[in-house]
Amino acid sequence: MSIKSVITGGGDGLFAKVRRYLDSENRLCVDSVIDTAVQDAVPVTFGPGGGLVPIMQSLHYDTSIGAIVAQHWRRVITYVAPTGYNAQLIRYTSYQSESANSRVITELNMGTLNIITNVYSCGGALQNYDAPQFTSVPQLEITQQIGGAADVTVSLDYTNEYGISSRTATCVITKNSIVGGRWDPVLQAGDLGIRSVQSMVTVPTSASGAVKLLGFTKLGYHSDSGTTTQETMYSPGAVSVGPSKILGVEFQGGAVAKVRHIDILMQLTSRVSRITNVGP
């Protein structure tokens, strides 16, 4: 990517030399520019220069398939934004040959619960949202089939969108629930979502079973009628996913195989982590 620095003080229209900062691949700097008339620094503005062309990338899914569990969301595309690039959505197109829904989301794995041992595992801060962000779409996904003895009730102790802790959410998961099923925890009254989870337990335990808590941010949603194609056009940069973030495409429909046609068009733009203004 080409980066230029424009002198925006008394030397409007002139350019200052941009160079690497301490030979870093991701940090740039510019030497200070002095106005000799007043012996003071001249403001310098950084920006993309000529030659910057975003990389266009499409994600395509066109398969006849049914839901794992009828009306539970099923993932059909998982994409991780490349290191050093922002992924910016440009277009989202969806068609399904039945009345069904589709969505584009980002995902955060907020921890797992072993239904056998009742042990909750979480990677700490990396599996929490940084304030002020939170998820308003938390879902429990079955990663190991639940045993057949009894339904289980999963309880979450969490921090809500305002940073208030010791909030409680519950979710009843039916016995024999299979891998891939999604279940919605019921949040404490008045809460909009979850920022972090402090604990997760189940009553009773079971001979088999495990779940993970996923936090979703919906970037797009379509309600397909089975007769028309739905399309959303985004302004470039309006919806962006940062480097190494997980982007998912999912549908919610019947268990009978139907045509699912979903297309995502995005542009990948190089991301400079920091720009430092230093002297000569």
Per-residue pLDDT of 152-203, as tens digits, reads 999 999 999 999 999 999 999 999 999 999 999 999 999 999 999 999 999 9
DSSP state of 69: S
Same domain, residue pair 85 and 195: yes
pLDDT at 42 over 80: no
Question: Is residue 14 domain-shared with residue 70, that is, in the same domain?
Answer: no
**CB-based contact 105:248 (threshold 8 Å):** yes
Indicate whether 274 belongs to any domain: no
Q: Percentage of the chain with pLDDT > 90?
A: 72
Query: For the chain, how long is the longest CA-to-CA vector?
Result: 85
- Whether residue 139 sits in one domain with residue 31: no
Mean per-residue pLDDT for 127-140?
A: 95
% of the chain with per-residue pLDDT over 70: 78
Is the same domain home to 26 and 153? no
Q: Confidence class of residue 9 from pLDDT cuts 50, 70 and 90?
A: very low
Q: What is the pLDDT of residue 19?
A: 62
pLDDT (0 to 100) of residue 1: 44
Q: Is residue 280 part of a domain?
A: no
Return d(Cα 235, Cα 31) in angstroms, integer: 35
Q: Are residues 15 and 115 in the same domain?
A: no
Residue 100: pLDDT above 80? yes
Residue 276 counted as domain residue: no
Spatial separation of the C-alpha atoms in residues 124 and 118, rounded to whole Å: 18
Residue 101 and residue 9 in one domain: no
Average the pLDDT over 123-143 and give the result.
92
Q: Indicate whether 91 belongs to any domain.
A: yes
- pLDDT-derived band of residue 12, with 50, 70 and 90 as boundaries? very low
Tokens 């045993």 map to which residue?
147
- Does residue 183 sit within a domain? yes
Q: What per-residue confidence (pLDDT) applies to 212? A: 97
- If asked whether residues 17 and 61 sit together in one domain, one would say no
**For residue 44, pLDDT beyond 90:** no
Question: Do the domain assignments include residue 187?
Answer: yes
Does 272 score more than 60 pLDDT? no
Angle at 107 between CA 101 and CA 109, to 5 degrees: 130
| Residue bearing the bigger pLDDT, 41 or 251 | 251
Rounded CA-CA distance 118/110 in Å is 16
* pLDDT above 70 (res 2): no
Tens digits of per-residue pLDDT, 216-241?
Answer: 999 999 999 999 999 999 997 889 99
* 98 plus 146 within the same structural domain: yes
Question: Based on the domain organization, do 90 and 42 belong to the same domain?
Answer: no
Q: Give the residue among 8, 80, 111, 88 at the shortest CA–CA distance from 264.
A: 88
Phi, psi (degrees; rounded to nearest 5) at 208: -155, 160
Does any domain span residue 35?
A: yes
pLDDT of residue 124: 73
pLDDT given at position 186:
98
Q: Please tell me the predicted confidence (pLDDT) of residue 271.
A: 72
Look at the block and give the residue holding tokens 């001249």: 42
Query: Domain range holding 30?
Result: 3-52
Domain count, the chain: 2
On whether residue 178 sits in a domain, the answer given is yes
135 and 17 within one domain = no
Q: Among residues 35, 52, 69, which one ends one of the domains?
A: 52
